[in-house]
Amino acid sequence: MPGNTFGHTFRLTSWGESHGKAIGGVIDGCPSGIALCEADLQHELDRRRPGQSAVTTARQEKDRVEILSGLFEGKTTGTPLSFLIWNEDQHSEDYEKLKNIYRPQHADEVYDLKYGFRDYRGGGRASARETAIRVAGGAVAKKMFQAMGLNTRITAHTQKIQELEVKNPQLDVIEQNSVRAADLKIAQQMEQRILQLKEKGDSVGATVEVVIENCPVGLGEPVFDKIKADFAKAFMSINAVLGVEYGAGFESAQLLGSQNNTRENGIYGGITNGKPIQFRIAIKPTSSIQLDQLSE
């Protein structure tokens, strides 16, 4: 099972099962001299943590991150940065009952086919818990951007849930509401909608917009490694994501050539040009019969 490493110059290797001893990551290629501490990673992990508000799942994860290498006197040394999060609640006994069944629409069966071996304790590597390691990696990248003097800002916000849509996003209000919408009024409506559905034992999908501002010029390579292609892969590698569009996206497929020159965008020829970049991603609803966030 390779495929646990992401990136080339700045590379994150991720490891750990949702019901094992710990999960963790190793970053190879982080430059030296960047001010960094465990609290930097913890801050982002806390933002990610399920169970923070009524609208998310009940599971409580405490997720205290520990950095094991690559730091000296509060700065990165340029050597691999290793970090881990101990799994406090392993409960693998809860999963004993799954030993002989496959859950519908979960990865169980295909794992068994591919690996000829089944770790029935839970999602394992297919659990959404795996994304905690991506968040920690992103926290380091953020500090690196700052140390490099870049003003690059990457913001994601919940743009649409059913008919509730944010049309004029105010990126600054995102951290002020539990659904991370960029409009406080619509955020409130989204929260209510989710709670209503939750009462009925149901869930709902969402469209998320990602905005990249002040992206350095010249990122991306012209042919197979266009920056839009790398972003598409990154987003699609998240469990519940079923769609990615960039700029005018699927709407552009309905337009005429004469109509298509209006939307600003930050990528030409697969290479960034410094203007803002917008992606939208489709998140499918959590399966209402789920035991864990396993999904494709």
According to CB under 8 A, which residues from 56 to 115 bind its own copies? 68-72, 75-82, 84, 104-107, 109-111, 113-115
The alpha carbon of 181 is separated from its chain's Cα centroid by a whole number of angstroms, namely 16
Instruction: Single out the segment in contact with its own copies by CB under 8 A; choices: 38-46, 138-146, 178-186, 212-220.
Output: 212-220
- Among residues 290, 103, 130, which one has the least CA distance to residue 203? 290
Q: At 17, which amino acid appears?
A: E
Site for its own copies in 172-211 (CB under 8 A): 197, 201-207
For residues 279 and 213, what is the distance between their CA atoms, to the nearest angstrom?
12
Q: Is 20 in the site for its own copies (CB under 8 A)?
A: yes
Selected from 37, 39, 150, 236, the binder of its own copies by CB under 8 A is 236
Q: Is 276 in the site for its own copies (CB under 8 A)?
A: no
Q: Is 145 in the site for its own copies (CB under 8 A)?
A: no
Instruction: Single out the segment in contact with its own copies by CB under 8 A; choices: 57-65, 143-151, 184-192, 251-259.
Output: 251-259
Q: Give the shortest CB-225-to-its own copies separation in angstroms.
A: 3
Q: Is 156 in the site for its own copies (CB under 8 A)?
A: no
Angle at 223 between CA 222 and CA 227, to 5 degrees: 60
- Among residues 219, 235, 210, 232, which one has the least CA distance to residue 270? 219
Contact between 137 and 41 under an 8 Å Cβ cutoff? The reply is no
Q: Is 291 in the site for its own copies (CB under 8 A)?
A: no
H helix or E strand, kind and range, residue 77: none
Q: Is 126 in the site for its own copies (CB under 8 A)?
A: yes
Cβ neighbours of 99 (radius 10 Å): 9
Residue 131, judged by CB atoms within 10 A of its CB (0-12, 13-18, 19+), counts as middle
Q: Which one, 153 or 284, has the nearer CB to its own copies?
A: 284
Instruction: Single out the segment in contact with its own copies by CB under 8 A; choices: 39-47, 147-155, 183-191, 219-227.
Output: 219-227
